Amino acid sequence: MVYVGLAEMRVKLVAGNWKMNGNLASSQALIKAILPPLSALNRARYAVCAPFPYLAAVGQALRGSSVALGAQDLSQFEDGAYTGGVSGAMLADCGCTHVIVGHSERRNVFGEGDAIVAQKYAQAVKHGLIPILCVGETLSERESGVTEAVVARQIDAVIQRCGIAALGRGVVAYEPVWAIGTGRTASPQQAQAVHAFIRGRVVAADRRLAETLLILYGGSVKAGNAAELFAMADVDGGLIGGASLVADEFVAICSAAQGAKETVKT
């Protein structure tokens, strides 16, 4: 379902998540390769989320472009005695505008629960960053029929800690864990069903916010399936993993977002 009632449009966003890949030279080469074609794609928005050590260099390479700089994580704490942590203030100081929060690898590999993810979301908002809140179910959860319950729990944890207005300062990314890096992808219809559920969940708290909230899809998005996914009414772009490391593939995905129709609310 598509909720209507505002005059604005949801402009699609494609964010590349480089994860723990590459080096300084390859990062700079990737930016150099994607910037010229992306500069001509002005009907969608784009971001790259680089590893911490390369944020300054990537930010310098992006300077003056329309591509935003993002980080892949942040600490749930303020500055202080938290060895190895990177605060929201530090990310903002480096020129980041976006940060991924609660990626499934942080939840499942590093054991970050809903409470920690909500703390991180709060820190991102506090320091003026746009959090990309990742939510999604494992294969066993999908097969057990609890996808909606899992996604609702993950979103509700942020709303309960930060408030519904804070959710409107971020982006939600639905990433079915079973489709991340596996080559398996949710069908466009499966993705749309969960995206519509997420929007409907937010409608219950704030209809106007729900209408403008960007909900991205993440889970083995490639050039070959991006256009069909982005054509779904409630899919507002993508959080792209492995494909974002290949310049031609990422540009093709961004082109698919450029060609997809925005959802217009009248």
Q: Look at residue 231 and tell me if it is in a domain.
A: yes
Check residue 9 and give its pLDDT.
73
Check residue 154 and give its pLDDT.
98
pLDDT digits (tens, 9 = 90+) for 7-20: 347 999 999 999 99
Check residue 87 and give its pLDDT.
98
Of 29 and 6, which is predicted with more confidence? 29
Q: Look at residue 2 and tell me if it is in a domain.
A: no
CATH number at residue 164: 3.20.20.70
Exposed e or buried b per residue across 214-244, where buried means at least 16 C-beta atoms within 10 angstroms of its C-beta: bbbbbbbbbbebbbbbbebebbbbbbbbbbb
Tell me the pLDDT of the chain averaged across its residues: 93
| Domain enclosing residue 230, as ranges | 9-73+85-264
Query: Looking at residues 206-210, what average pLDDT do you find?
Result: 95
Check residue 262 and give its pLDDT.
46
Query: Looking at residues 197-209, what average pLDDT do you find?
Result: 95
Q: How confident is the model at residue 179 (pLDDT cuts 50, 70, 90)?
A: confident
Query: Looking at residues 64-76, what average pLDDT do you find?
Result: 97
Check residue 261 and give its pLDDT.
53
Q: Look at residue 30 and tell me if it is in a domain.
A: yes
Query: Looking at residues 104-133, what average pLDDT do you find?
Result: 97
- Distance of alpha carbon 59 from alpha carbon 76, whole angstroms: 23
Contact 21, 52 (CB under 8 A): no
**What is the DSSP-derived secondary structure letter of residue 96?**
-
Q: Look at residue 78 and tell me if it is in a domain.
A: no
Check residue 265 and give its pLDDT.
34
Q: Look at residue 99 and tell me if it is in a domain.
A: yes
- Distance of alpha carbon 167 from alpha carbon 165, whole angstroms: 5
Query: Looking at residues 56-85, what average pLDDT do you find?
Result: 97
Number of domains forming the structure of the chain:
1
Q: What are phi and psi of 142, to 5 degrees?
A: -65, -45
Q: How confident is the model at residue 178 (pLDDT cuts 50, 70, 90)?
A: confident
Query: Looking at residues 169-193, what average pLDDT do you find?
Result: 90
Q: Look at residue 79 and tell me if it is in a domain.
A: no
pLDDT digits (tens, 9 = 90+) for 138-153: 989 999 999 999 999 9
Q: Look at residue 44 and tell me if it is in a domain.
A: yes
pLDDT surpassing 70 at residue 234: yes
- Distance of alpha carbon 37 from alpha carbon 263, whole angstroms: 24
Q: Look at residue 237 and tell me if it is in a domain.
A: yes
Cβ atoms within 10 Å of 159's Cβ, excluding its own: 18
Query: Looking at residues 231-247, what average pLDDT do you find?
Result: 97
Q: How far is residue 18 CA from its own chain's centroid?
A: 12
Active site residues: 103, 175
